[in-house]
A = this chain, B = another copy of it.
Amino acid sequence: MIRVIIAEDQRMLRGALGALLNLEDDIEVIAEVGNGEEAFKSILSLQPDVCLMDIEMPIKTGLDVAEELKQLGSPCKIIILTTFARPGYFKRAVNAGVHGYLLKDGPSDELAETIRKVTQGKREYAPELVFGSLQEENPLTEREREIMKLVAEGKTAKEISAELFLSSGTVRNYISEVINKLNVKNRIEAISIAQEKGWL
């Protein structure tokens, strides 16, 4: 019997996946949790074979949990299940030694099969990620992201400069640089693109 924990903050999906997996004779869902911290705790206490884990969850992300478990040398196999095909996420997940990385856009009927493979030590990654077409790498520096987030809230260069203890000229230089990098014509388009790609 393969013992599984599901960590996913959207209740409807969590419940549905639980029901779906419980249909399989060789799989048993022993817990369903809604945030990263609970996931971490219940993996330690219940010692499941596999944890199906979302990335964006309250308190701790799934990647945080995976990294901490790796440090502790936990034998629990992690399968990341997320909406996001961002290369940054994927890279971090692979480094954290996760055994699977699936997309919520993928088919639900292969899920059980993936769980079985993973318990045998195999690894399974969504083909979209392994082959090309991974979303572009975030080209913005930390500082640029920080500033663009404030820009996206509608703050002016002057306000941002006061908040970050810079001159307003410097802020405008940063924004200008971002506009240039993203190859767009103004800050609003830059916001629009950056948000769409998840770079913000």
Contact = CB atoms under 8 A, between A and B. Distances in A.
Contacts of A83: 10
A162 interface: no
A23 B109 CA distance: 15
A188 interface: yes
Nearest to A19: B20
Interface of A: 10-20, 23, 81, 83, 102-109, 111, 151-156, 184-193
A96 to B, nearest CB: 22
Contacts of A103: 12
Nearest to A179: B154
Given A10-B104, A105-B10, A154 B16 contact: no
Nearest to A16: B16
16 contacts: A12-B13, A12-B17, A12-B102, A13-B13, A15-B107, A16-B19, A18-B108, A19-B19, A19-B20, A152-B188, A154-B186, A154-B191, A156-B185, A188-B188, A188-B191, A191-B191
